[in-house]
Amino acid sequence: MTPGRLSFFLLLAPLVLWLGLLIVIPHIDMALVSLRARVAPGEYTPSLQNYADFFTQPLYLVTFARTAIMSILATAITLIIGFPISYYIAKIAKGRSQASLFLMCLIPFWVSELVRTFGWIILLRETGVISGLLQWAGLADQPVEMLYNDSAMMLGLVYTSMLFMVVPLTTTLESLDDAVIEAGYDLGGNGFSVLREIVIPHAMPGIVSGCIVVFMLSLGNYLTPTMLGGKDSLWFTQLIYSQFIVRFNWELGAAFGFCLLGASSLIVWGMLRLTGQTLERTMGEGS
């Protein structure tokens, strides 16, 4: 073996060990577990029962659909709120204020998601700051509970994932030459048509990678729905958690895990296909 080949295999080994032992084999094992049913303690038979349960029990299916729809909604809201901010940072702010605005976007995300969620709890709950302010201002005559409902949860999801939208958007918008926008106006475009025909097409890679990451983070989120959501806003990850930790039904939990993985892969793949991007390019730019 030549030294070049030896060092190649030495470099290959950690990659293969990492991906094999922690990603590929565990997922295959999870698939196997999801495809079996327990007939007696310690005895299993191959079966599709877990997936059949998933598709026939309304609670599971409804929770799954709800989680997917709410995640899409959260992604859309994050995009709509984040786009003007990214545009402002990339195109309107200049020099030092540009750098510091960008940094200010990052700061909240250096702290744990738990701390951010805790912040919203302090603000929104019945004895919280906003309720107190409303009473003080005379707009409410008793404590107002704003926590434990879908809007609070949505607020939390959007807040938590904002960074992952703003950063890729700002990066792609910065690479748009001002002269192109000016040319659009010179050719008789107005603000709206320039936005639709020049700015948005140029920003597409950033929009795609932002949306993919935000969607995935929302779909797989556990903390925000648990802390801010109400009794009715059950999230699919909570079902997985309860099957694993509370009911100890790993077979069904693994099947749920695969459904979650399937949904998230499907949407990521669909968005990549729809916009002609690849995972390598999207992830390479996003970081």
Partner 1 sequence: MIPSIPQPRGVRLIYKAYVVAFFLWLALPLVAVSVFAFNDSQFPSLPWEGFTWGWFFGDARPQIGLFHERRILSSIWTSVFVAFWVSLLAVTVGTTNAFLFNRYSFRGRGFLYVLMLLPLVVPGIVLGISILIFSSRVAGTVQDLSGLYVEALRPGLPLVIAGQFSFITTIATLVISARLIKFDRSLEEAALNLGASPLTAVRTITIPYLMPALVGAFVVAFLMSFENFNTTLMLVGSDAPLTITMFDRLKEGSTPVLNAVSLLLMVGSGVLALVMISFQRR
- Restricting to residues 105-164, which ones interact with partner 1 according to CB under 8 A? 105-108, 110-116, 118-123, 125, 127-129, 132, 159, 162
Q: Which of 72, 76, 79, 91 binds partner 1 (CB under 8 A)?
A: 91
Candidates 43-51, 52-60, 89-97, 144-152: pick the segment binding partner 1 (CB under 8 A).
89-97
Which tokens belong to 159? Answer: 């807040």
Give the residue from 134, 180, 160, 21 showing the smallest Cα distance to 77.
160
Q: Which is nearer to partner 1, 73 or 123 (CB)?
A: 123
Q: Which residues contact 94 (CB under 8 A, 6 or more apart)?
A: none
Span interacting with partner 1, options 56-64, 72-80, 102-110, 146-154, rule CB under 8 A: 102-110
The footprint of partner 1 on residues 15-44 (CB under 8 A) is 15, 18-19, 22-27, 29-30, 33
> Which region, judged by CB under 8 A, interacts with partner 1, from 49-57, 58-66, 146-154, 257-265?
257-265
Beta carbons within 10 angstroms of residue 56's beta carbon: 9
Q: Which is nearer to partner 1, 26 or 57 (CB)?
A: 26
Q: How many residues does the chain have?
A: 287
Residue 244 to residue 234: CA distance in whole angstroms: 16
**Which residue(s) pair with 36 in the sheet?**
46
Q: How far is the CB of 246 from partner 1 (least distance, A)?
A: 12
7 binds partner 1 (CB under 8 A): yes
CB atoms near residue 149 (< 10 Å)? 17
Where are the extended beta strands (E) located within the chain?
36-40, 43-46
Pick between residue 49 and residue 226 the one whose CB is nearest to partner 1.
226
Q: How far apart are CA 169 and CA 79, in angstroms?
A: 9
- Check binding of 231 to partner 1 (CB under 8 A): no
